Structure 1
């Protein structure tokens, strides 16, 4: 197995995992509201004698409510990567990674045991010099949420991804969130991806956050691979802007 194949293998695995690092909301942001999520994520993944480290420095997700129950989305990741073999650095780069652009639409609200639901669709637009329309990828997911109690919520996603190299996989996320107060919240999350024959990755994520105000919050989380050697720690700063003039 040559170095190039190993590099591609590790990058594909990391890319698939990063898609499902945090549960997607089942509710669109309100009309005329811009929500900005600035994320920094440090990931370490190992396979045999290969180690890949990746750091988003940072990535930004923009969500804007255009109509009631409908939002548009833009994700712009900036990544720093290093690849090590036998403790020797063989690859290092800073890159503006593939852009994701799309939308989310609310399908229905929660009714008793029937969860709130939305559908999210994003195109993955490659930013390298080999850009062609045939190299576009896509992500589609159904996002659900059940309010169990006033403070306890179950959130879950199931989706399908086609990467820019046309590799395909499904993914799932199950998240339980607890609001300890109007300022502090905690969550535990299980996420992974799979193809038609096996579970590719299986991971556990725990974290919490603090609401500085109604418009600003900060979350931090730590995840570990359950069936593969993955570890990451990350933080997200969320800021909400009402763009409608009074």
Structure 2
């Protein structure tokens, strides 16, 4: 059963032996929360290209802290560099702060469900801030198919103070290659302003160094538009003494 730990890859199904369970590198968030008293840091580096615009996010830092069983608080911060037509600008993106709540996590049920909601605060640098308070919401599901393979999917709605907001979806299929390496493939997309559909696909892998440290690599491309990205990251679980 230990292999189930590595399936999560980014889909995250759970088993009693699971240690580090991350939200990165997939678009589909984990359907599990961090255990009470534990701190998890998920950091990465991402470069994306869209037409003549090159965006670099480095570092991206997500802090997850379990405040009680099935509930975690989350803080996301990232430094962004944008380059277009040989003009480069740098700054900090809007701070995101919120929570994830476990809705279903029963060992007798093959489905895990969690809901996360974060406020996007207009704290970013000029040119990198929406200048309005927004919200980012996700409902995440996961199911194990076999001991080595599982599927996760999510839906969401983001609103940043203007227009109709964006509807989000993603479906991630992952499998464990061995007790260290897992791979996944994931189509995902956005209905911008609840109208214009942008679809993408990505793939990647995770490498579990130990129960508390995981490395990841991913890349993706647009399906109905010209865009692509590449990303690498590291996640670190700091266990509370009482849970070790």
Which structure exhibits the higher relative contact order, with contacts defined as CA atoms closer than 8 Å and separated by 6 or more residues?
A: 2
- Cα pair 2:95 2:124 within 8 Å, conserved: no
Q: CA deviation at 1:243?
A: 3.0
Q: Which whole-Å CA distance do the structure 1 matches of 2:123 and 2:193 have between them?
A: 29
SS at match of 1:58: strand
Per-residue CA deviations over 1:118-156 (Å, capped at 9, x if unaligned) read 1100000112478x9x82000111110001111111011
Structure 2: any 5+ residue segments left out of the alignment? 1-24
Q: Which whole-Å CA distance do the structure 2 matches of 1:165 and 1:59 have between them?
A: 25
Q: Which whole-Å CA distance do the structure 1 matches of 2:60 and 2:94 have between them?
A: 11
Q: CA deviation at 1:114?
A: 6.0
- How many correspondences in the alignment? 216
Q: 1:33 aligns with which of 17, 34, 38?
A: 38
SS at match of 1:77: strand
Structure 1: any 5+ residue segments left out of the alignment? 1-19
State yes or no: 1:153 paired with 2:158.
Answer: no
TM-score by length of 1: 0.81
Per-residue CA deviations over 1:79-123 (Å, capped at 9, x if unaligned) read 111112xxxx2x321111111110000001257776210110000
Q: CA deviation at 1:236?
A: 1.7
State yes or no: 1:143 paired with 2:134.
Answer: no
SS at match of 2:84: strand
Q: 2:218 aligns with which of 205, 213, 221?
A: 221
- Greater shift after overlay, 191-200 or 167-176? 191-200
User: What residue in structure 1 maps to residue 105 of structure 2?
Assistant: 109
SS at match of 2:241: coil
- Cα pair 2:165 2:193 within 8 Å, conserved: no
- Cα pair 2:26 2:172 within 8 Å, conserved: no
SS at match of 1:228: coil
Between structures 1 and 2, the one with greater helix share: 1
Q: Which whole-Å CA distance do the structure 2 matches of 1:182 and 1:126 have between them?
A: 42
